[in-house]
Amino acid sequence: MTIPDDLRRTPLHEEHIRLGARMVPFAGWQMPVQYAGVMEEARAVRQAVGLFDISHMGRFRVAGSDAEALLQQTTTNDVSALSPGKAQYSLIPNEQGGILDDIIVYRKAPSDFIVVVNASNRDRDLEFFRAHAPSGTSVEDVSDATGMVAVQGPAAQDALQPLTDIELASLPRFGFAEGSVAGRQATICRTGYTGEDGFEVIGAAAHIVELWRALVDAHVVPCGLGARDSLRTEAGYPLYGHEIDETTTPVEAGLMWAVKLDKGSFVGRDAILAAKQAGPSRKLMGLIMEGRALPRQGYSIEAQGEPIGVVTSGAFSATRSIALGMGYVRSDHARNGATVDVVIRGTTHACRLLPKKDLLTATITS
């Protein structure tokens, strides 16, 4: 594959080349899709520990006397519930109740936050926050000055602890702390996008290279976008541009747990409330294929020959040896255990519907 010269590169680009990664274009970046292989990398994360370069994601610092008010107005979760050292999953809504992005908000201090956004939406999100920012509150894009890696898997804590003075065992899910990591100041948050325990580390761009090398030297398996997509799909996690976009409401996406309608006014609140009261016409469901045919984004979902939905993501589970995915299904068909068909190149393949959160643990029937 020929990769355009104008793509952005993360601070770890040369490390990926040195390790023999296959590089691909992704959201305007040149990124590793795999090293040894997608299946091997996904199994490493499920069974031990893997390492991902996620420096392509956007990182904003939001600070000033009205920083909390700005984020309350422009995100769906309740920022006021965050104490320093805590983070939360949230959404950036538009006025129509659609989703501009899904994000993580970190509260460093009462008036100091870090917001992590998707790479493809970085410029638009920055413009959105700045357009709503009151005087005295700054929104600074610190993405290029920093790097970010994810250490994921049941052995993640054991792999990372020797490199930091932060006591990882005391760090709760969605808790974060600042301290020495591989000899430099960095931030470690107990978050991730794989369905496993793990940590995401933000540090200076040059420092991220040192941390990456230290983890690889400690036999942590480097993983690419292929494994990341497989892992997040079988964990039932949405990806912007697949499960969610500007036309998708949190109601139909099953993300109302990240929307706090009672916190007061915010962008899109009335539209989201109206969508909740009306009830969704479609619901995002998990799919487990009865055979090994792989569902892919855009494939039709049918019931007795009638189109009832569309696949949004599909993957082959490396650890369970099954094909699975997610898709939107008409609400009157969105039942746990229902059997429907996915149409793949003109042929129907049976699959079972289930809540997307159960994809990783559901019983497999032959």
Separation CA 117–CA 101 (nearest Å):
7
pLDDT over threshold 80, residue 285 = yes
How does residue 2 score in pLDDT terms, banded at 50, 70 and 90? low
pLDDT in the model for residue 320: 85
User: What is the percent of the chain with per-residue pLDDT over 90, rounded to a whole number?
Assistant: 95
The domain limits of the chain are 8-57+144-234, 58-141, 281-366
pLDDT over threshold 80, residue 366 = no
pLDDT in the model for residue 293: 95
pLDDT in the model for residue 365: 62
Specify the CATH number for 58-141; select among 3.30.70.1400, 3.30.413.10, 2.60.40.10, 3.40.50.10790.
3.30.70.1400
Give the rounded distance of the alpha carbon of 314 from its chain centre: 15
CATH of span 8-57+144-234: 3.30.1360.120
Q: Please give the backbone phi and psi of residue 254, each rounded to the nearest 5 degrees, phi first.
A: 70, 30
Using DSSP, state whether 351 is helix, strand or coil: strand
pLDDT over threshold 90, residue 24 = yes
Q: Sign of torsion, CA 215 220 221 224?
A: negative
pLDDT digits (tens, 9 = 90+) for 205-234: 999 999 999 999 999 999 999 999 999 999
pLDDT over threshold 60, residue 141 = yes
pLDDT in the model for residue 99: 98
Distances (CA, A) of 94 to 58, 245, 271: 19, 10, 9
pLDDT in the model for residue 182: 96
The CATH H-level superfamily of 281-366 is Aminomethyltransferase beta-barrel domains (2.40.30.110)
Average pLDDT over residues 261-275: 98
Q: Which of 266, 272, 258, 273 is nearest to 73 (CA)?
A: 266
pLDDT in the model for residue 6: 86
pLDDT over threshold 90, residue 185 = yes
301's CB contacts (< 8 A; 6+ apart) are 287, 307, 308, 309, 310, 311, 327, 329, 340, 341, 342, 343
pLDDT digits (tens, 9 = 90+) for 339-364: 999 999 999 999 999 999 999 988 77
pLDDT over threshold 60, residue 103 = yes
Strand order in the sheet with 176-181: 176-181, 184-189, 198-204, 146-152, 50-53, 221-223
pLDDT in the model for residue 1: 57
pLDDT digits (tens, 9 = 90+) for 150-174: 999 999 999 999 999 999 999 999 9
pLDDT over threshold 80, residue 85 = yes
pLDDT over threshold 80, residue 4 = no
pLDDT digits (tens, 9 = 90+) for 40-74: 999 999 999 999 999 999 999 999 999 999 999 99
Average pLDDT over residues 298-312: 97
Average pLDDT over residues 72-86: 98
How does residue 5 score in pLDDT terms, banded at 50, 70 and 90? confident
pLDDT in the model for residue 319: 83
